[in-house]
Structure 1
C-alpha cells in the first residue's frame, strides 16, 4: 500500500470527520445545554436534527458543484462556512440562535461529507475503492472515539461553548491540509458538460434507479440507527444510568471501536466472497442482534452491560454494511460521482432525521425507545438488502441488453 494511498485516506478521513466531530464532541453537553437555556430535552435535540437537515439539503447542491468546479473549491467554501457557524454557535444567547448557527454549520459540513466519497470514486472502483473507503472510515471513526472524550474534558474545564471554538480550529486546520496536501481529482476536461441543468438530469436518472435507491437507503437506515443512538444516548446513559460525562464518552467510544475494527475487513472479505455477499451476511447479523436487544429490553431487562454488549456486536456488523453499500451505490456512476455521492448522503441523513423525529415522540429518558428505534432501522436495512441485492444496477442492465 503506497504512501500516497495512505495520505489520501488520512486527509479524506479527516475531512469527513469534521461534521461528525461537531456532533460527537458536544453530545456529553446536551443535558447541560438544556439546563443552561432552561429548555426541554426535545428543544436541545432539535439542534441535532437541524444540523442533519442542513447537511442533507446542502449536499444536493455541493455534489453537483464539485462535478462542475472540481473537488477542492467546494471544500474551501464549506469549511469556511462551517467555521463561521461554529463562531455563532459559541456565542449563541439562546437555543433558537444555537439552532440557527447549527444550521449554518451543517451547510458547511456537508462539503466534507460528500466530496471525499466522490474523490474515492474518482480514484478507484471495486475492491480498491472498498479498501480506500475502509481506511477513510478508519480515520473518520476517530471522531466518535476521541470527540466525546475531548468534549467532556473541554466542557468540564471551559464550558459547553468552548466545544465550538475547538471545532472552528479543526475546520481551519482542514483548509490548510486541502490547500497543501490534497490533489484535484476532477480535472477541467472532465468538468465539460457538468452544469446545474445536467445535475438535475443526473438526479432524475438516479431517482429512477431502484438499485441505487435501495442500496443507498439500506446504508441510510444503518446510519439512521446510529443517529438514533447519537440523539438519545447521553440522556439514557447520563440521566438514566447515572454515568458521568467522561464515562459516557468511554462507553460511546466502545461502539465506535467495534465499527472501526470490522470496517477494516470489508475489502478483504469482498475480495474473497464478493461485495454483495458480504453485505447480505453483515446486514443479517446486524438486524438479528438489534432485534434480539429489543426483545430483551421489552421483556423488562434494564441493564447497562447487556446494552453495551448488544450494541458492540450490532455496530460491529454495521461496520461492514456502510462502506460496502457506499461502494455498491457509487461504482457505476463515475461520470456523476459528486451528484451520486450527494444524493446518497442526503438519503442517509434524511433517514437519520426521520428516525430521530420518530424516536423523540416516544423518548422518556429510558433505554426502550432508543433500542426500539435502533432495531426498527436494522429491520428496514435487512428488508431492503433482500429486495435490492437481487437486482442489477441500471447501467449494468443496459450493458447486458
Structure 2
C-alpha cells in the first residue's frame, strides 16, 4: 500500500468500482456492434458511415481522456466521474432517439467523451491506493470483470436487437450509465486531495511532459497501444467479416463474439491461479508471445484460406488470452513512476490506446475490404506490441 496509509476503500470495493468504470467504454462498444449492419439499412446509409460512428466514439473517448485525467487530479476522482457519466447519459439518450445517421454520429461522439472517464479513474484509484503486486492483482481481477461485461455485450445486444430493434440497444447503455452513476455516488470515496491548481495550463503541460518523456512509460504505452488498440480496431471489422462474409446472423455474431471475451476471461482466471508462482514479468512474457503468435496466424489464415468462423476467431482467441496475461504487469509498470499525477498518466495511456484503435479504424476504412484490413492491420499492431515489449525489457535490464 502506498504511503503506509490504509486505503479509504477496501480492495474489493476498489476492484468493483474499477471494473464497473473501466467497462463503461468497452461495453458501450460491444452492445452496439451487432446493430451496425442493421443501422446501414435503417438509415439508408453506407457501411462506411456506420463504421464512422464507431470511429467517432473512439475519437471522443481518446481525446476526452486528456481532459478527464487532469480533471480527476484537480477536482477529485468522484466529482470528475459524475460529470463525465452525465455527459455519457446525454449521448446515450440522443442515440436512442436519433432520427438520422448524423445524430447517431454526434451521439456516439458525446458517448465516447462521457465514457472516457471510466478507464482513467478506474486505473487511477488503483494507483492511488495500491502499488506493485497488490496493484497487479486488482488489475487482473478487473480484467476478469472486463472480460465478462463486454462478453455479454454482443450477445445482449444481438438478442435485444432481434426482440426490440436498434433503439433498445442504446437504452441498454442508458441503464448501464445509471448503474455507474449510482455506484459512484454511493460507493466511491475520494482517494486524493483535490487541487484545482493542477488545471493551470503550465502545470498541465509539465505533468504531461513529465509522463511523455519517461522511456518506461513510452515503451509500456507502445505495448498497450498495439495489443489493446488491436482489440478496439478489430471491432470495426469483425461484424462485417463475420456477418457479411462468413454469413452469421447478428444474433449468431453476438454469441460468436463470446469466443473473444471468453478467452480473455480464461486468460484472466488462469493468471489469477498462477500469478503468485510465475510472477508478473514472466506472465507478461507469456502474454506477449501469444499476442505475437496470434497476429502471425491471423495474417496467414486470411492470406491462405477462405474465411470461416474459426479461421477468423481462432487467432483472435489466442491474442486475447495473451492480452489477459500481458496487461496487469504492463499497466502497473506504466503508472508506477507517477503517484503524484496518476490521473494524467492513466489518461495519456488510455489516450494512446484509443488513438491506436481510432487510427486502425481509419486505416481499415481506407483499405475498404474488411477481411483484407483485418488480416493486415491487426497483425501489424500485435507485432508492434512485441517490439514495444522488447524495448521495455531492455530498459528494465539497464535499470
- Conservation of the 8 A alpha-carbon contact between 2:246 and 2:307: no
Structure 2 portions without partners, runs of 5+: 1-6
Tell me whether 1:132 sits opposite 2:138 in the alignment: yes
TM-superposed CA distance for 1:314, in Å, is 2.1
- The DSSP-based 3-state class of the residue aligned with 2:257 is helix
Cα distance per residue 1:318-349 (max 9 Å; x no partner): 11122221111001211110000000000101
Tell me whether 1:16 sits opposite 2:25 in the alignment: no
Aligned pairs for 1:83-94 (under 5 A) are 83-94=89-100
Cα distance per residue 1:21-56 (max 9 Å; x no partner): 211111001011011111111110001111111111
TM-superposed CA distance for 1:243, in Å, is 0.9
CA gap of 1:120–1:203, structure 2 versus 1, over 3 A, is same
CA distance in 2, matches of 1:209, 1:265: 32
- Conservation of the 8 A alpha-carbon contact between 2:120 and 2:350: yes
1:288 alignment counterpart? 293
TM-superposed CA distance for 1:218, in Å, is 0.9
CA distance in 1, matches of 2:357, 2:385: 13
Tell me whether 1:186 sits opposite 2:186 in the alignment: no
Cα distance per residue 1:82-105 (max 9 Å; x no partner): 000111111222211211111111
Tell me whether 1:95 sits opposite 2:113 in the alignment: no
- Conservation of the 8 A alpha-carbon contact between 2:76 and 2:190: yes
Cα distance per residue 1:61-96 (max 9 Å; x no partner): 110111111110011111111000111111222211
2:383 alignment counterpart? 379
TM-superposed CA distance for 1:289, in Å, is 2.2
Tell me whether 1:50 sits opposite 2:56 in the alignment: yes
Alignment equivalent of 2:315, drawn from 310, 316, 330: 310
CA distance in 1, matches of 2:196, 2:68: 17
TM-score (norm 1): 0.92
Cα distance per residue 1:292-316 (max 9 Å; x no partner): 2211321234332232322212211
81-90 or 306-315: bigger deviation? 306-315
- The DSSP-based 3-state class of the residue aligned with 1:231 is coil
CA distance in 1, matches of 2:275, 2:171: 41
Alignment equivalent of 2:265, drawn from 250, 255, 260: 260
1:177 alignment counterpart? 183
Tell me whether 1:162 sits opposite 2:149 in the alignment: no
TM-superposed CA distance for 1:274, in Å, is 4.2
Aligned pairs for 1:294-373 (under 5 A) are 294-365=299-370, 367-373=371-377
- The DSSP-based 3-state class of the residue aligned with 2:247 is coil
- The DSSP-based 3-state class of the residue aligned with 1:187 is coil
- The DSSP-based 3-state class of the residue aligned with 2:386 is helix
1:214 alignment counterpart? 219
1:27 alignment counterpart? 33
CA gap of 1:72–1:232, structure 2 versus 1, over 3 A, is same
1:76 alignment counterpart? 82
247-256 or 179-188: bigger deviation? 179-188
321-330 or 301-310: bigger deviation? 301-310
CA gap of 1:266–1:198, structure 2 versus 1, over 3 A, is farther
CA distance in 2, matches of 1:82, 1:301: 40
Structure 1 portions without partners, runs of 5+: none
TM-superposed CA distance for 1:143, in Å, is 2.4
TM-score (norm 2): 0.93
Aligned pairs for 1:58-73 (under 5 A) are 58-73=64-79
**RMSD (CA atoms):** 2.1
Aligned length: 391
CA distance in 2, matches of 1:305, 1:174: 35
CA distance in 1, matches of 2:132, 2:253: 38
TM-superposed CA distance for 1:208, in Å, is 1.2
- Conservation of the 8 A alpha-carbon contact between 1:131 and 1:266: no
TM-superposed CA distance for 1:147, in Å, is 1.0
- Conservation of the 8 A alpha-carbon contact between 1:225 and 1:352: yes
